[in-house]
């Protein structure tokens, strides 16, 4: 399902998580909405609540590891609900790189990411999330 461009969407770019040279699960490489990259404190809180452990990768816009894509989906959806975004679009690193290589403007990049991502709608959108009023 694709998303209409211009809406307040949380976009997450995920890729493999490496332990040394071996891929071992996934990590979110960039997660952002209209305000830019999500702050690491927000990412950390939800990760710890959801998985009851401390993330090994943590910085603004990045967190991990996750065992599978389903965990990433659940995590991003929780974050999307907290921010009150209209939905979350999950994009693999390969898709992101393809889109950025082909796009010519920032606007085009966003539109294409919205079209190429795996979109999950947040039915609660519009109702206030605890961060939506302040940080969106």
* 115 phi and psi angles, rounded to 5 deg: -75, -35
Does the N-terminal peptide bond of residue 75 adopt cis geometry, omega within 30 degrees of 0? no
Sole binder of other proteins in the list 30, 58, 69, 120 (CB under 8 A)? 30
Considering the complex, what minimum distance in angstroms separates the CB of residue 63 from other proteins? 12
Pairing of strands 87-92, 57-59: unpaired
Is 27:14 a contact under the CB 8 Å cutoff? yes
Applying CB under 8 A, the span of 47-55, 68-76, 78-86, 103-111 interacting with other proteins comes to 103-111
Q: Does 44 bind other proteins (CB under 8 A)?
A: no
Q: How many residues bind other proteins (CB under 8 A)?
A: 25
Tokens 């039915």 correspond to 123
Considering the complex, what minimum distance in angstroms separates the CB of residue 30 from other proteins? 7
Residue (of 28, 131, 13, 27) closest to 80 by Cα position: 131
Burial class (CB in 10 A: 0-12, 13-18, 19+), 123: exposed
Q: Does 26 bind other proteins (CB under 8 A)?
A: no
Residue number, 41 or 52, with CB nearest to other proteins: 41
Q: Does 108 bind other proteins (CB under 8 A)?
A: yes
Could you list the residues that contact other proteins (CB under 8 A)?
13, 15, 29-30, 32, 34-37, 60-62, 93, 96-97, 100-101, 103-110
């Amino acid at each position: 399902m694709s998303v209409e461009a211009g809406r307040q969407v949380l976009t997450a770019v995920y890729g493999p998580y490496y332990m040394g040279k071996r891929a071992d699960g996934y990590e979110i490489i960039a997660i952002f909405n209209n305000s830019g990259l999500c702050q690491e404190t927000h990412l950390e809180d939800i990760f710890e609540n959801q998985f009851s452990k401390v993330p090994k990768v943590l910085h603004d816009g990045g967190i991990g590891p996750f065992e599978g894509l389903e965990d990433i989906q659940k995590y991003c959806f929780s974050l999307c609900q907290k921010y009150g975004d209209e939905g979350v679009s999950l994009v693999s690193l390969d898709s992101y790189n393809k889109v950025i290589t082909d796009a010519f403007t920032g606007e085009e990049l966003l539109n294409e990411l919205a079209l190429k991502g795996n979109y999950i709608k947040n039915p609660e959108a519009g109702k206030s999330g605890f961060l939506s009023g302040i940080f969106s």
